Amino acid sequence: MPEARYAVFGHPIAHSLSPRIHAAFARQAGIALQYTAIDAPPGQFPDILAAFATGGGRGGNVTMPLKEQAYALSATLTPRARAVGAVNTLTWRDGQWHGDNTDGAGLVRDLTGRHALDLRGRRALLVGAGGAARGVAAALLDAGVLELAVVNRTPARADALVDSLGQPGRAYSRYWDDLSNQGDFELIVNATSAARGTGAGAFTAPMTLVNSRTLAVDINYGEAAIPFLAWARAAGCLHVVDGLGMLVEQAAEAFELWHGVRPDTSPVYDELRAEQVRLVTAD
């Protein structure tokens, strides 16, 4: 019997902190764990995932741009994965992959728990409509946002995401070129990945989107989050949050699913955050 293996799949994937996070969780729980990062170009992902299972793979996290592919490769889906049409957590059981999505739960737990922010009653703007955006859209609605506007460079994808949410009137799509006419928002979430792996290009959007209590969230972390967070600070957002906490919290959800143990996320988050601060200071 091959040794049980776990991994995170993405393209690119060298930046991923997931192996460190899961190693830390495993030390807490006293679990021997083999968890690696596997680069999987979209065209090769099905074959790479199949080889991983044959070699003892028992669970996988999935990041950009593979979440919708992971959905299609799953034999069964949890209700939350089915609702959003994207999978970020795979479990191998009975010779099949079973898909879940822990992104939304991770984001809400980070914002409402770690940052003590109330999402209820906020008018929200979601930038992006890919697998990452799908993972958080339904969770934001469940957390009580008043309404959710979705904007994407490809309007058809925004329309498809809104249709999948099944809440007409409360969730709706808007054109990117018409953002200046949409008023302001109390929550703006960037779920695009344009900056990852390409350097810190500028993020541009009308600053009229921001009001005196706007919370700006980028589900990316590190270098990939810099452009949006810089825009948010320049626009005067009251709170600015990157995706590091979401990353840790969604990983905890997956770890509990695989191992039946809920890890303590605080020390893991604090260590990673302190390291990021040191890197910024060193620069």
State the CATH number of the domain containing residue 67. 3.40.50.10860
Q: Do residues 125 and 56 share a domain?
A: no
Q: Do residues 123 and 232 share a domain?
A: yes
Look up the domain containing 9 and give its range.
5-102+249-264
* Counted domains in the chain: 2
pTM for the whole thing? Answer: 0.92
Could you give the CA distance from residue 40 to residue 37 in angstroms, rounded to a whole number? 10
Q: Do residues 10 and 93 share a domain?
A: yes
Cα dist from 255 to 65, 74, 105, whole Å: 21, 18, 13
- Is position 269 within any domain? no
Cα dist from 46 to 63, 86, 218, whole Å: 14, 15, 29
pLDDT tens, per residue, the chain with 283 residues: 466 899 999 999 998 999 999 999 999 999 999 999 999 999 999 999 999 999 999 999 999 899 999 999 999 999 999 988 999 999 999 999 999 999 999 999 999 999 999 999 999 999 999 988 999 999 999 999 999 999 999 999 999 999 999 999 999 999 999 999 999 999 999 999 754 433 456 899 999 999 999 999 999 998 899 999 999 999 999 999 999 999 999 999 999 999 999 999 999 999 999 998 876 665 5
Q: Do residues 60 and 162 share a domain?
A: no
Q: Do residues 220 and 258 share a domain?
A: no
List Cβ neighbours of 72 (8 Å cut-off, separation of 6 or more).
none
Q: State the pairing for strand pair 89-93/96-100.
A: antiparallel
Q: Do residues 133 and 187 share a domain?
A: yes
> Residues 119, 143: contact at Cβ < 8 Å?
yes
- Written as six digits, the tokens of 119 are 């999402």
Q: Do residues 88 and 210 share a domain?
A: no
Q: Which residues are annotated as a binding site for shikimate?
A: 16-18, 63, 88, 103, 221, 250
Query: Catalytic residue numbers?
Result: 67
Q: Which residues are annotated as a binding site for NADP(+)?
A: 128-132, 152-157, 219, 243
Q: Do residues 56 and 81 share a domain?
A: yes
- Is position 129 within any domain? yes
> Residues 38, 16: contact at Cβ < 8 Å?
no
Q: Do residues 147 and 231 share a domain?
A: yes
Q: Which residues are annotated as a binding site?
A: 16-18, 63, 88, 103, 128-132, 152-157, 219, 221, 243, 250
List Cβ neighbours of 186 (8 Å cut-off, separation of 6 or more).
121, 122, 123, 124, 211, 213, 214, 215
Q: Do residues 164 and 69 share a domain?
A: no
- The domain spanning residue 191 has which CATH number? 3.40.50.720
Q: In terms of Cα–Cα distance, which of 231, 251, 268 is closest to 35?
A: 251
